[in-house]
Amino acid sequence: MSFNKDLAKSNANGSVSLHEGENGFPFVTLQTAAGASAKIYLYGAHVATFKDSKGRDHLFMSSKAEFKQGKALRGGIPICWPQFGPGKLPQHGFARNSTWQLNDTKVEEGVTSATFLLKDSEETKKVFPHSFELHYTVELKGDEMNTVFLVKNCGSDAFDWTGALHTYFNVAAIDSTSVKGLKGFTYVDKVQDAKEFEEKGEDIKFTSQLDRVYLKGASNDVHIQDTEGTEKVTFSSWKDVVVWNPWVEKAGGMSDLGEGEWKKYVCVEAVQVSDVVRLEPQQSWSGTYAFSKL
């Protein structure tokens, strides 16, 4: 695995280093002087952990995540692109199943970050005949994780995409978790034949499988409250929010999810699906998505 040694950095403000993980999957570790850390696999530029300076891991990773080419890692922050959900391409597109390259790193006072790059290839052009660059920056700033996701059309023809940062947040117990901030938004309920409803409640609670696309819901902050605290999630440019928990039935069919682990996470995702994003030649789109404990 090639890695530009200049990108590894360590100083009084923190460090960025590269390691080999499960099944030889390389990952980058970010550390800050204050004690926050993150682990990002080059496969999928997949953020697997974010631990704040108090040692709390904000992200859930399945104990049965499968580290093999072509299979998305279960948990953390899978990158869904250029397609969210089912469609012409395999579910959630190819970005989460591709090996990205580490392209830039920064270790400065209060900020440690890494930027990952995915470019079109012969493989991607077989299913998505366009030239593109994805630049994905993961940044630790105090006890917050910030992400910047940039898509550039490097070709001579326009293309459309949908996508998401499909984040699995740790919760103490899903049946005592509430998601707040989406009251009044219309949602597509994928558990009720994609019928549309208006969210009437301040709190979204979980008593069975829940899989909803809150249209334009990313215009607000979203809070995930459980018995141990509240995670604040903020967005810019991303349009929609998906809230998902499989509950016991659907979890039973997920071979890469440990027994009972469906109780330990909720997905609150930054999504672009209510409208496709059309990029003209040389045009870019970028969105930010950040989270921290209140």
What DSSP string describes 141-161?
ETTEEEEEEEEEE-SSS-EEE
270 binds ligand TA6 (CB under 6 A): no
**Using the rule CB under 6 A, which residue among 30, 45, 242, 279 binds ligand TA6?**
242
Total site size for ligand TA6, rule CB under 6 A: 11
Residue 38 half-sphere exposure, CB side, CA atoms within 13 Å? 29
258 binds ligand TA6 (CB under 6 A): no
> Which region among 37-45, 84-92, 141-149, 275-283 touches ligand TA6 (by CB under 6 A)?
84-92
One-letter identity of residue 41: Y
Q: Smallest gap, in angstroms, from Cβ of residue 96 to ligand TA6?
A: 8
Torsion of CA 147, 222, 268, 170, to 10 degrees: 90
Q: φ and ψ at 74, to 5 degrees?
A: -85, 115
Q: Which of 130, 135, 166, 199 is catalytic?
A: 166
**Using the rule CB under 6 A, which residue among 39, 46, 92, 135 binds ligand TA6?**
92
**Residue 91 marked as a ligand binder:** yes
Distance of CA 8 to the CA centre of its chain: 24
Examine the residue annotation and report whether 269 is marked as an active-site residue of this protein.
yes
288 burial (CB, 10 Å; 0-12 / 13-18 / 19+) is middle
Tokens at 30, concatenated: 């970010």
> Which region among 16-24, 59-67, 85-93, 221-229 touches ligand TA6 (by CB under 6 A)?
85-93
**Using the rule CB under 6 A, which residue among 28, 36, 45, 72 binds ligand TA6?**
72
Examine the residue annotation and report whether 58 is marked as an active-site residue of this protein.
no
**Using the rule CB under 6 A, which residue among 141, 190, 223, 293 binds ligand TA6?**
190
**Which runs of consecutive H residues, i.e. helices, occur in 54-153?**
122-127
Q: Which residues bind ligand TA6 (CB under 6 A)?
A: 72, 85, 91-92, 166, 190, 211, 242, 244, 267, 269
Q: What positions carry a catalytic annotation?
A: 166, 269
